[in-house]
Chain A
Amino acid sequence: MDALLATLVSGLVLGSLYALMSSSLSLVWTTLGVFNFSHGALMMIGAFVAWTVSEVLGLGPIVGILSGTLAAGLIGIVIERLLVRPFYNNRNMLLITAMTTLAAMVILERGAQMIWGARLKQLPRLIPGEVQILGTTISAHEALLIVLAPLILVALWRFTVMTNRGRSLRAVGQNQDSAALLGIDVPVAFALAFGISAALAGLTGALLGSIRFITPTMGSEPLTKAMIVVIFGGLGNLGATAGAAYLIGFIEAFLILGLGLYWTPFMLFLLMILVLLSRPNGVFGGK
């Protein structure tokens, strides 16, 4: 029973992480129709900037996390401007932007390697101490992640439903031409979607920087997991993506319990390919 509860809690932590990563990845996909391969690298930038501001400049973890979020968001806007926007009217835009964002990932990862070096870094925990959930002890910082993730997801959802700016993103995602006819500034909407998505990735990275080590390649594993999630949830629906994120988190935790750490990633990818074969638009996907 204890093992079961512990697995549930660790699934919840993983699910929160995947929910943050995949919902921001899916925001760019729904608005621009671009799959951003540099999403994991943006997360890594958030963690490194947070570490630099908090530890090197000594401004504390809160300022650090905010700076990391902001820095990742700004880089996201630059990536959209330089690497995605020039290809909007291209017939092969989908493939080309997959390649240019892959190039952006290489540039960010190698750049981080040059700036921050290979030495392992870690942020201090935002809240020290430990918390008991369902009889399982986890660090208070992980508990914070569990609480923050749904709050951020709800905020993102309310933003796209309630505010005009947020609605404009969905309008552009559904039909660019008619959105433009309604007076929506399409390029601004694209930059906004990319910026918010990148900032969320940066925030995720800064929060993860207290749980895992900060390295130039720390983003690739969460990115591949976010890929599995969006395939499960189907790209294009925030609620389905978030649901799938928690589902994958629990599946992963139980696979680790049942099969061990080695077989789990293999089983996840196999599951994903099988899902795509039977439901090409995702388990919860419509369209």
Chain B
Amino acid sequence: MANKPQFLAILALFAALAVVPLFVTDSYVRHLFIIAFVYAVIASNWNLSLGHCGVFNFGHLTFFGIGVYTAAIASKTFGVNPWIAMLLGGGTAALSALLLAAPVARLKGIYVVLVTFAFTQLVLQLVLSQSQITGGAEGMVRLPFLELGSYSFLKDFKFGYYYVGLVLLALSCLFLAFVSNSSFGKSLKAVRDAEDYAAARGISVARQRILALTLSAIFTGIAGGFYAIYLRVASPEVFGFGTLSLALSMVLIGGVNTVFGPVLAALVLTFATEAMAGLQGFEDARFIVIAVAMILVLRLAPEGLVEFLGKLRLPASTART
């Protein structure tokens, strides 16, 4: 997986992203980068359960939403420091993933899709019904913002938030690269590709699935916490079909077999949808464009665009990962 040119390309990408705010001073463009980082964390972590482990998990956005509401409630209602509230989001998300994984690990095929999907609905209904805690359909607003010493992150056109988002993405990528290259990550692929054989070799299929789901929720939940603290809003919209299909298209277009495909796809697609939103009459059409792109990728390049383009360019060096 981590061959040398790819590794250098990733290093170059992060180095480039690290210097972007020095040249881009526009607060809106920086905002787009921050949103792209959040989506990149969601998509690449989702890929851990969906792509690497083959769990038909349709409830990944629930972990994100739980992170959002944990950070919101902890920081606003209980006055917890927003930095810690963000991290708490990762904890509750992982805990909820563990709860979800216990039944899911025993189910097969379409029932995994149905239960994970129903889990999203369950959490959404809980959020909507407990309006005295969560703000119900209106959500929560005016959450506390980040501070470091006496420096307020609201200053300097999102300069600080940009780096928090980038560091979060970098840590999440390191975590995912570590997991997928470990023997645990390899056993996940074994479970996905040859379940019976993996079980025969002594890999507990259920345990690996539970672990994969739980691990995939940690950074997703922290990203949710960051999203809430950054926007200073928690709204039930995060559980909707819109966020779900956008994140899913990033995973698929980026490629389910890679760690960095979804990251690249998230960066490109966030800017592409925002660019289209500026065009006259494209406010709704952009979601149609993304959906069509997702279908085309599934039909023409099911391994994802990153790997597909790589094959076109380097026909000789395509060692299977």
Q: Are B248 and A227 in contact (CB under 8 A)?
A: no
Given known pairs A103-B294, A280-B107, the reply for A265 and B125 (CB within 8 Å) is yes
Q: Are A98 and B113 in contact (CB under 8 A)?
A: yes
Q: Are A35 and B113 in contact (CB under 8 A)?
A: yes
Task: Give Cα A263–Cα B249 distance, bound, in whole angstroms.
Answer: 33
Q: How many residues of A contact B (CB 8 A)?
A: 42
Instruction: Report B255 CB to chain A, min CB distance, Å.
Output: 14
Q: Are A114 and B284 in contact (CB under 8 A)?
A: yes
Q: How many residues of B contact A (CB 8 A)?
A: 41
Q: Are B113 and A107 in contact (CB under 8 A)?
A: no
Give the residue of B126, B241, B285, B291 whose beta carbon is less than 8 angstroms from that of A220.
Answer: B241
Task: Give Cα A265–Cα B130 distance, bound, in whole angstroms.
Answer: 13
0 or 1 for each of B242-255: is its CB under 8 Å from A? (1 = yes): 10110011001000
Q: Are A280 and B106 in contact (CB under 8 A)?
A: yes
Is A235 interfacial (CB-CB < 8 Å)? yes
Given known pairs A94-B56, A102-B248, A110-B288, the reply for A235 and B110 (CB within 8 Å) is yes
Task: Give Cα A231–Cα B288 distance, bound, in whole angstroms.
Answer: 30
Instruction: Report A13 CB to chain B, min CB distance, Å.
Output: 21
Is A131 interfacial (CB-CB < 8 Å)? no
Q: Are B295 and A231 in contact (CB under 8 A)?
A: no
Q: Are A106 and B285 in contact (CB under 8 A)?
A: no
Give the residue of B128, B242, B281, B285 whose beta carbon is less than 8 angstroms from that of A262.
Answer: B128
Is A86 interfacial (CB-CB < 8 Å)? yes
Is A272 interfacial (CB-CB < 8 Å)? yes
Question: Which residues of A lie under 8 Å from residue B241 when comparing CB positions?
Answer: 102, 105-106, 109, 220
List A96-143 residues whose CB lies under 8 Å from chain B.
96, 98-100, 102-107, 109-111, 113-114
Is B115 interfacial (CB-CB < 8 Å)? yes
Stretch at the interface among B116-124, B221-229, B263-271: B116-124
Given known pairs A110-B284, A110-B288, A266-B129, the reply for A98 and B118 (CB within 8 Å) is no
Task: Give Cα A83–Cα B125 distance, bound, in whole angstroms.
Answer: 31
Nearest-CB residue, chain B, relative to A40: B241
Nearest-CB residue, chain A, relative to B109: A94
Give the residue of B113, B115, B117 whose beta carbon is less than 8 angstroms from that of A95.
Answer: B113
Task: Give Cα A114–Cα B284 distance, bound, in whole angstroms.
Answer: 7
Is B58 interfacial (CB-CB < 8 Å)? yes
Question: Which residues of A lie under 8 Å from residue B56 when comparing CB positions?
Answer: 94-95, 98
Q: Are B125 and A107 in contact (CB under 8 A)?
A: no
Given known pairs A94-B56, A265-B125, the reply for A100 and B298 (CB within 8 Å) is yes
Nearest-CB residue, chain B, relative to A41: B241
Give the residue of A94, A102, A263, A272 whose beta carbon is less than 8 angstroms from that of B118.
Answer: A272
Q: Are A100 and B245 in contact (CB under 8 A)?
A: no
Question: Which residues of A lie under 8 Å from residue B125 when comparing CB positions?
Answer: 265-266, 269
Is B287 interfacial (CB-CB < 8 Å)? yes
Task: Give Cα A123–Cα B22 distance, bound, in whole angstroms.
Answer: 57
Is A160 interfacial (CB-CB < 8 Å)? no
Instruction: Report A142 CB to chain B, min CB distance, Å.
Output: 25
Q: Are B128 and A270 in contact (CB under 8 A)?
A: no
Q: Are A103 and B121 in contact (CB under 8 A)?
A: no
Is B114 interfacial (CB-CB < 8 Å)? yes
Is B103 interfacial (CB-CB < 8 Å)? yes
Question: Which residues of B lie under 8 Å from residue A280 when comparing CB positions?
Answer: 106-108, 111
Given known pairs A106-B291, A114-B285, A269-B122, the reply for A99 and B298 (CB within 8 Å) is yes
Q: Which one of B103, B121, B126, B252 has the highest number of Cβ atoms from chain A below 10 Å of its Cβ?
A: B121
Give the residue of B113, B121, B129 whose beta carbon is less than 8 angstroms from that of A263.
Answer: B129
Give the residue of A98, A103, A266, A272 whose beta carbon is less than 8 angstroms from that of B295.
Answer: A103
Instruction: Report B223 CB to chain A, min CB distance, Å.
Output: 22
Q: Are A273 and B122 in contact (CB under 8 A)?
A: yes
Nearest-CB residue, chain B, relative to A221: B121
Given known pairs A231-B114, A273-B103, the reply for A266 and B126 (CB within 8 Å) is yes
Nearest-CB residue, chain B, relative to A274: B103
Given known pairs A107-B288, A114-B284, the reply for A276 and B113 (CB within 8 Å) is no
Task: Give Cα A96–Cα B118 distance, bound, in whole angstroms.
Answer: 19
Task: Give Cα A100–Cα B300 distance, bound, in whole angstroms.
Answer: 13
Nearest-CB residue, chain B, relative to A113: B284
Nearest-CB residue, chain B, relative to A267: B125
Task: Give Cα A98–Cα B59 distance, bound, in whole angstroms.
Answer: 13
Is A57 interfacial (CB-CB < 8 Å)? no
Task: Give Cα A109–Cα B244 distance, bound, in whole angstroms.
Answer: 14
Task: Give Cα A140–Cα B259 distance, bound, in whole angstroms.
Answer: 58
Nearest-CB residue, chain B, relative to A268: B125
Question: Which residues of A lie under 8 Å from residue B119 when comparing CB positions?
Answer: 269, 273
Nearest-CB residue, chain A, relative to B57: A95
Given known pairs A94-B56, A103-B245, A111-B288, the reply for A276 and B115 (CB within 8 Å) is yes
Instruction: Report A223 CB to chain B, min CB distance, Å.
Output: 10
- 5 tightest Cβ-Cβ pairs between the two chains A and B: A262-B129, A269-B122, A103-B291, A265-B125, A266-B125
> Can you offer 19 A-B residue contacts whose CB atoms are under 8 A?
A35-B114, A83-B295, A86-B299, A90-B302, A95-B113, A96-B298, A99-B294, A105-B245, A106-B290, A107-B292, A230-B114, A231-B114, A265-B125, A269-B122, A273-B103, A273-B115, A276-B103, A277-B103, A280-B107
Q: A29-B110, A103-B295, A272-B118 are in contact. List 7 more A-B contacts (CB 8 A).
A: A87-B298, A103-B294, A106-B242, A230-B114, A231-B118, A269-B121, A269-B122
Q: Which residues of A contact B (CB under 8 A)?
A: 29, 35, 82-83, 86-87, 90, 94-96, 98-100, 102-107, 109-111, 113-114, 220, 224, 227-228, 230-231, 235, 262-263, 265-266, 269-270, 272-273, 276-277, 280
